[in-house]
Amino acid sequence: MSARARLTQDIIDNAKVEADFSSIANMAGAAVTFRGVMRPLTKQGERLDTLVLKWHPRMTEKSLDDIARNGLSRFGVDVVRVIHRCGPIAPGETIVFVGVASDHRREAFQAADYVMDRLKTDAVFWKREEGPFGTRWIEPTDRDHNDRKRWSK
């Protein structure tokens, strides 16, 4: 069993990440992957030029590691991988990759869903949108918090 998280300022190479994860998960019965992609519009429908994720090197990395390890232990899966961008991100670029491998599909899907819900609310990032409207800091939404509450049971 293995949980790893990585924080990067570099553009995520989706093909390489998928190939690397597949080579790790090739003995599992189920492999689930998720990519979160930067949208071109804000929730208000305004053009979005950049999403900036500010981070604290130790605190952010520890939060990502804790979330990955929690997903691994909570669902008894074999592998959890998280790669998360920080810094400026352009529309269409991958923000986050989550990969989960396990013997069975249900646990893999649940673990990936759990990890994403935790990343949206518990990962240590400060998020800022930039566009023609100027700049503004954003927080997790009510929906994000409600999604996270599902796992409190």
pLDDT score, position 116 = 97
Q: Token match 């093909």: residue?
A: 15
**For strand 2-8 and strand 79-85, is the pairing parallel, antiparallel, or unpaired?**
parallel
pLDDT score, position 27 = 85
CA distance 40 to 49: 7
The residue segments making up the domain with residue 133 are 2-152
Helix (H, G, I), strand (E, B) or coil at 2: strand
Helix (H, G, I), strand (E, B) or coil at 90: coil
pLDDT-wise least confident of 12-16, 86-90, 138-142: 138-142
CA distance 126 to 138: 8
| CATH code, 65 | 3.90.1170.40
Split into its structural domains, the chain has a count of: 1
Determine the average pLDDT of the residues in 134-149.
Answer: 94
Instruction: List, in sequence order, every residue forming a beta bridge with 63; answer none if it has no partner.
Output: none
The overall average pLDDT reported for the chain is 95
**In the predicted structure, residue 127 carries a pLDDT above the cut 70:** yes
pLDDT band, residue 119 (cuts 50/70/90):
very high
Query: Per residue in 66-88, pLDDT tens?
Result: 999 999 999 999 999 999 999 99
Helix (H, G, I), strand (E, B) or coil at 111: helix
Query: Per residue in 23-38, pLDDT tens?
Result: 988 888 999 999 999 9
pLDDT score, position 69 = 98
Query: Per residue in 41-68, pLDDT tens?
Result: 998 899 999 999 999 989 999 999 999 9
| Phi, psi angle pair for 10, to nearest 5° | -80, 150
Query: Per residue in 104-115, pLDDT tens?
Result: 999 999 999 999
